[in-house]
């Protein structure tokens, strides 16, 4: 009797949250999957089922392919810059935990991760600006000709990567710091007694021991890299101010297809492609972690 | 005898040298980290500085960190040109409401999922975690049509619907409930005749203060920095959040750097201050995201 009462409480207490989940998460996810198989141009009343036709069209759509390639380059570019740098910085910060400036190190590296994205992007827009930007002026000292960073298709992708890495770095450093703090101290003392130098124990002990953390941070960085949008929106506007023209990314292409071209079904199939990418990355993470656990 | 003394002093000297070397190395590391930290915040420092510069000074090389003739004209111009304060208010309302609902849903659901173990609850928890893998951008479009159907476009309420729950919040609270609230405590309260509601509000919630603080900061900043969702839900000038307003403002034909910086600084200064004040909460919250299996 008492037990049943307790159960009733549990069910009633969790029900509102579950209802919200159903409403704002489960149903939209199900809808996106369903719409991706339908042709729905918003203006037309009926939404015929067309199977995988949307996906077939996607992979012949030059704009989509460009966005997919750009997004992939950005995601992996950010990964390649962020992870080694974060590991290195976290090792140094951990080594200097007792330093007077330890708080400053953590805060200064972490601030870019929390500040509002658009104002931060604005700062970089100024830095990269072809006429006024300090980057060109700085490079001018070394005799490099001024570049129009934000208007060149290749350079503007680099700019987006730099901005995203600047933001992602703080998070990665923080997670690595937690990892460093959880490493077994005794192992490092033993290594020291055996004559291992600092860099040696970093290379042969810390890096292998931190592998699960590296895996986790890499997947998080890649997933957020594939969802890049605001950075490209702000940095890569064209001369007329149309956002994101120089660097087309997946989310931008998706939103443009649904709100400018009114092709909801088509845009949904793009969302599904994004979902598949994220799921594959997550799956890779889980499999690698499990393999480690078995070994 | 004298030989022995000699080796002693030699060893002493060697170890003194080692200590000195180590100190120099540490000094070098400190110098590097300070320099790196300064470089990280330099773009933001310049942004705030640029907000108070005259157009002539903006063009100067090398850029000045402290404006020589600080002017408020950029800030005034931006406030006159755009409903900047309205945007800040929208963002603030959106972030506060989202924080409140996320705290409410996460604390209740986290507690139930943590302290009422059963197969049903495990399945529910697995579903909640699974939805966390799916990025918001994936199901944004169907959600937009739901908001549209409810007639909530261009309102903070419409934006809020996307940010009512946070899977990580439920995960975090559940984790804390399991690790820091002993079953015996709850059992004892039950034996004393306490009702379930009373137990949750009087015993459990106060014990979750730390975790709730961390979650509150995470939830607030998540909504405050949201971009794509407010962009599609708010399409009228008065409905923009500050992020959206700024992003659209800067794509205008005449982009005035001073004004852009001024508008950005107005947003940046309070959020950086808030972060520095709440740093511990924030770091704790973010650090615990890494504990996910």
- The per-residue pLDDT for range B217-249, each reduced to its tens digit, is 889 989 999 999 999 999 898 999 999 998 888
As a whole number of angstroms, the distance between CA A213 and CA A207 comes to: 10
Out of A130-134, B134-138, B176-180, B182-186, which region has the weakest mean confidence (pLDDT)? A130-134
Calculate how close chain A gets to B8, using CA atoms only, in Å: 21
Better-scored residue on pLDDT, A81 or A248: A81
Calculate how close chain B gets to A10, using CA atoms only, in Å: 6
- Give me the residue from A122, A125, A227 closest to B137, CB to CB: A227
Average of pLDDT values for B191-195? 90
In angstroms and rounded to an integer, the radius of gyration of the C-alpha atoms of chain A is 24
Calculate how close chain B gets to A14, using CA atoms only, in Å: 5
Residue A126: which of B243, B37, B240, B259 has the closest Cα? Answer: B259
- The per-residue pLDDT for range A39-59, each reduced to its tens digit, is 988 777 788 899 899 999 999
Calculate how close chain B gets to A38, using CA atoms only, in Å: 13
- Give me the residue from B29, B58, B267 closest to A95, CB to CB: B29
Instruction: For each of the domains in chain A, give its residue range(s) and CATH number, in order of start.
Output: 53-294 (1.10.3720.10)
Chain-chain contact of B44 with A105 (C-beta, under 8 angstroms): no
Helix (H, G, I), strand (E, B) or coil at A49: strand
In angstroms and rounded to an integer, the radius of gyration of the C-alpha atoms of chain B is 27
Q: Find, in chain A, the residue whose alpha carbon is nearest to that of B63.
A: A134
Counting beta carbons within 10 angstroms of the beta carbon of residue A20, is it exposed (0 to 12), middle (13 to 18) or buried (19 or more)? middle
Chain-chain contact of B37 with A104 (C-beta, under 8 angstroms): yes
Contact A274, A29 (CB under 8 A): no
Residue B4 in this model has a pLDDT that exceeds 60: no
Q: What is the dihedral of CA A82, A88, A93, A95, to 10 degrees?
A: 160
Instruction: Identify the pLDDT of residue B293.
Output: 39
Instruction: Identify the pLDDT of residue A285.
Output: 86
Chain-chain contact of A96 with B29 (C-beta, under 8 angstroms): yes
- The per-residue pLDDT for range A263-281, each reduced to its tens digit, is 999 999 999 999 999 999 9
Count of other CB atoms within 10 angstroms of residue A248: 21
Highest mean pLDDT among A195-204, B8-17, B96-105: B96-105
**What φ, ψ does residue B191 adopt, rounded to 5°?**
-65, -35
Instruction: Identify the pLDDT of residue A139.
Output: 87
Average of pLDDT values for A86-112? 91
Give percent of chain B above pLDDT 70: 94
Q: Find, in chain A, the residue whose alpha carbon is nearest to that of B115.
A: A10
Average of pLDDT values for B164-177? 93
Give me A274's structure tokens.
Answer: 């994004």
Summary mean pLDDT of chain A: 89
Helix (H, G, I), strand (E, B) or coil at A261: coil
- pLDDT level of residue B54 (50, 70, 90 thresholds): confident
Give me A252's structure tokens.
Answer: 């931008």
Instruction: Identify the pLDDT of residue B106.
Output: 96
Average of pLDDT values for B100-125? 94
Calculate how close chain A gets to B182, using CA atoms only, in Å: 17
* Interface mutation vs chain A, best among B31, B36, B43, B221, most A CBs within 10 Å: B43
- The per-residue pLDDT for range A5-20, each reduced to its tens digit, is 888 999 999 999 999 9
Instruction: Identify the pLDDT of residue B292.
Output: 46
Question: At a CB cut-off of 8 Å and minimum separation 6, what does A136 contact?
Answer: A129, A130, A146, A147, A149
Summary mean pLDDT of chain B: 88
Residue B6 in this model has a pLDDT that exceeds 60: no
Name chain A contacts of B261, Cβ cutoff 8 Å: 122-123, 126
As a whole number of angstroms, the distance between CA B233 and CA B224 comes to: 15
- The per-residue pLDDT for range A189-237, each reduced to its tens digit, is 899 898 888 888 899 999 999 998 999 899 999 999 999 999 988 887 7
**What φ, ψ does residue A38 adopt, rounded to 5°?**
-120, 160
Question: At a CB cut-off of 8 Å and minimum separation 6, what does A238 contact?
Answer: A151, A245, A246
Q: Find, in chain B, the residue whose alpha carbon is nearest to that of A214.
A: B290
Residue B211 in this model has a pLDDT that exceeds 60: yes
> What are the domain boundaries of chain B?
2-71, 74-289
- Bridge partners, A38 (sequence order): A49
Name chain A contacts of B124, Cβ cutoff 8 Å: 14, 18
- pLDDT level of residue B31 (50, 70, 90 thresholds): very high
Average of pLDDT values for A12-32? 95
Residue A115 in this model has a pLDDT that exceeds 60: yes
A-B CB pairs within 8 A amount to 269
Instruction: Identify the pLDDT of residue B71.
Output: 87
Give percent of chain B above pLDDT 90: 54
Average of pLDDT values for A79-84? 96
* Interface mutation vs chain A, best among B142, B161, B183, most A CBs within 10 Å: B142
Chain-chain contact of A13 with B59 (C-beta, under 8 angstroms): no
- Characterize B97-135 residue by residue with b for buried, 16 or more Cβ atoms within 10 angstroms of its Cβ, and e for exposed: bbbebbbebbbbbbbbbbbbeeeebeebbeebbebeebb
Domain B74-289 class? Answer: mainly alpha
H helical segments located in B192-237 = 196-198, 205-207, 209-224, 228-233
Q: Does B108 touch chain A (CB under 8 A)?
A: yes
Instruction: Identify the pLDDT of residue B87.
Output: 93
- pLDDT level of residue B19 (50, 70, 90 thresholds): confident
Q: Does B82 touch chain A (CB under 8 A)?
A: no
As a whole number of angstroms, the distance between CA B260 and CA B248 comes to: 11
Q: Does B287 touch chain A (CB under 8 A)?
A: yes
- Give me the residue from A123, A240, A272 closest to B44, CB to CB: A123
* Interface mutation vs chain B, best among A23, A26, A28, most B CBs within 10 Å: A28
Instruction: Identify the pLDDT of residue B223.
Output: 94
Calculate how close chain B gets to A236, using CA atoms only, in Å: 10
Residue B43 in this model has a pLDDT that exceeds 80: yes
Count of other CB atoms within 10 angstroms of residue A284: 14
Instruction: Identify the pLDDT of residue B289.
Output: 65
């Amino acid at each position: 009797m008492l037990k049943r009462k307790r159960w009733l409480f549990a069910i009633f207490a969790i029900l509102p949250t579950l209802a919200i989940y159903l409403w704002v998460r489960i149903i939209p996810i199900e809808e996106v999957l369903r719409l991706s198989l339908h042709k729905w141009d918003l203006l037309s009343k009926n939404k015929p089922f067309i199977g995988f036709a949307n996906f077939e069209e996607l992979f012949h759509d030059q704009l989509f392919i460009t966005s997919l390639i750009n997004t992939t380059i950005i995601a992996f570019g950010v990964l390649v810059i962020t992870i080694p740098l974060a590991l290195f910085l976290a090792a140094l910060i951990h080594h200097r935990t007792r330093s007077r400036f330890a708080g400053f190190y953590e805060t200064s590296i972490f601030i870019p991760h929390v500040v509002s994205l658009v104002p931060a992007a604005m700062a970089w827009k100024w830095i990269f600006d072809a006429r006024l930007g300090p980057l060109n002026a700085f490079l001018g000292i070394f005799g490099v000709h001024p570049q129009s960073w934000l208007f060149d298709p290749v350079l503007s992708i680099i700019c987006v990567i730099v901005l995203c890495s600047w933001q992602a770095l703080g998070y990665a450093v923080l997670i690595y710091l937690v990892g460093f703090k959880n490493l077994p101290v005794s192992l490092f003392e033993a290594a020291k007694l055996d004559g291992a130098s600092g860099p040696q124990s970093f290379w042969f002990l810390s890096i292998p021991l931190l592998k699960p953390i590296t895996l986790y941070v890499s997947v998080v960085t890649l997933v957020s890299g594939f969802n890049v949008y605001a950075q490209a929106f702000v940095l890569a506007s064209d001369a007329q101010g149309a956002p994101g023209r120089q660097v087309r990314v997946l989310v931008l292409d998706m939103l443009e297809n649904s709100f400018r071209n009114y092709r909801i079904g088509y845009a949904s199939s793009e969302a599904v492609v994004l979902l598949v990418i994220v799921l594959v990355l997550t799956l890779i993470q889980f499999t690698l972690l499990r393999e480690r656990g078995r070994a | 005898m004298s030989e022995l003394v000699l080796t002693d002093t030699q060893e002493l000297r060697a170890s003194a040298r080692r200590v000195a070397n180590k100190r120099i190395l540490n000094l070098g590391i400190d110098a590097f980290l300070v320099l790196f930290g300064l470089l990280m915040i330099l773009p933001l420092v310049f942004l705030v500085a640029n907000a108070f510069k005259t157009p002539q000074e903006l063009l100067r090389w090398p850029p000045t960190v402290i404006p020589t003739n600080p002017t408020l004209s950029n800030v005034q111009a931006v406030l006159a040109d755009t409903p900047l304060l309205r945007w800040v208010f929208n963002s603030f309302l959106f972030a506060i409401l989202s924080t409140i609902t996320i705290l409410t849903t996460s604390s209740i659901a986290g507690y139930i999922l943590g302290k009422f173990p059963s197969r049903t609850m495990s399945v529910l928890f697995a579903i909640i975690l699974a939805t966390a893998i799916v990025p918001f951008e994936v199901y944004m479009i169907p959600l937009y049509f739901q908001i549209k159907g409810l007639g909530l476009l261009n309102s903070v309420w419409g934006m809020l619907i996307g940010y009512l729950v946070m899977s990580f919040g439920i995960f975090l609270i559940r984790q804390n409930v399991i690790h820091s609230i002993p079953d015996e405590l709850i059992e004892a309260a039950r034996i004393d005749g306490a009702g379930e509601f009373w137990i949750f509000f009087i015993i459990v919630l106060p014990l979750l203060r730390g975790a709730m603080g961390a979650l509150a900061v995470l939830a607030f900043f998540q909504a405050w920095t949201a971009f794509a969702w407010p962009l599609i839900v708010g399409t009228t000038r008065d409905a923009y959040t500050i992020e959206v307003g700024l992003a659209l403002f800067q794509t205008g034909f005449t982009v005035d750097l001073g004004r852009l910086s001024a508008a950005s600084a107005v947003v940046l200064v309070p959020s950086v201050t808030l972060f520095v004040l709440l740093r511990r909460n924030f770091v704790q919250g973010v650090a615990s995201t890494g504990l996910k299996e």
